[in-house]
């Protein structure tokens, strides 16, 4: 009987070791994601890898989802087709970089407008955000030296 108990404990110990080893071996492998995937609530910049064309925008959602949106019917998509006679490259997300993180909608609008004015990206259609411009018009006067 003692031999049966020892044999049973040995089998149980062996089973647990094998089980834990297999669990570690087949543990869910985390996918390595591009840096842009996890960024959200940002003002971002696109820089064409074939010329000096650029674009500044903002997103409240994940930047990677916004990058996917730019692959269809956007100034970036039109740029690749008209200037380079190419489709949008599959590695488009590598050309996007977060410029700054934002906390609220007003923050997005102001920071986007300031980056557009500073960087002067050629693919942006408008030079500033109309909503931000209207809001800041009442705040910025000669007394505040804006």
In a domain, 3, yes or no: no
The CA distance from 59 to 65, in Å, is 9
pLDDT in tens, 99-110: 999 999 888 889
In a domain, 19, yes or no: no
In a domain, 5, yes or no: no
The CA distance from 71 to 38, in Å, is 19
In a domain, 122, yes or no: yes
Complete DSSP assignment for 29-53: PPPP--TTTT-EEEEEEEE-SSSS-
For the chain, give the longest Cα–Cα distance. 97
Residue in the structure block whose two tokens are 């050629």: 122
Domain enclosing residue 106, as ranges: 40-126
* Region 61-80 average pLDDT: 90
Question: How many domains would you assign to the chain?
Answer: 1
pLDDT at res. 145: 40
């Amino acid at each position: 009987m003692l031999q049966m108990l020892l044999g049973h404990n040995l089998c149980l110990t062996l089973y647990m070791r094998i089980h834990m080893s297999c669990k570690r071996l087949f543990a869910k492998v985390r996918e390595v994601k591009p840096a842009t995937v996890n960024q959200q609530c940002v003002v971002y910049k696109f820089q064409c890898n074939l010329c000096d064309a650029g674009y500044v925008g903002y997103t409240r959602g994940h930047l990677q989802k916004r990058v996917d949106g730019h692959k269809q019917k956007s100034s970036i998509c039109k740029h690749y087709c008209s200037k380079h006679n190419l489709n949008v490259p599959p590695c488009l997300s590598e050309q996007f970089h977060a410029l700054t993180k934002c906390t609220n909608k007003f923050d997005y609008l102001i920071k986007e407008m300031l980056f557009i004015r500073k960087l002067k990206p050629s693919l942006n259609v408008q030079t500033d955000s109309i909503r931000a411009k209207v809001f800041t018009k009442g705040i910025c006067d000669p007394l505040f030296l804006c």
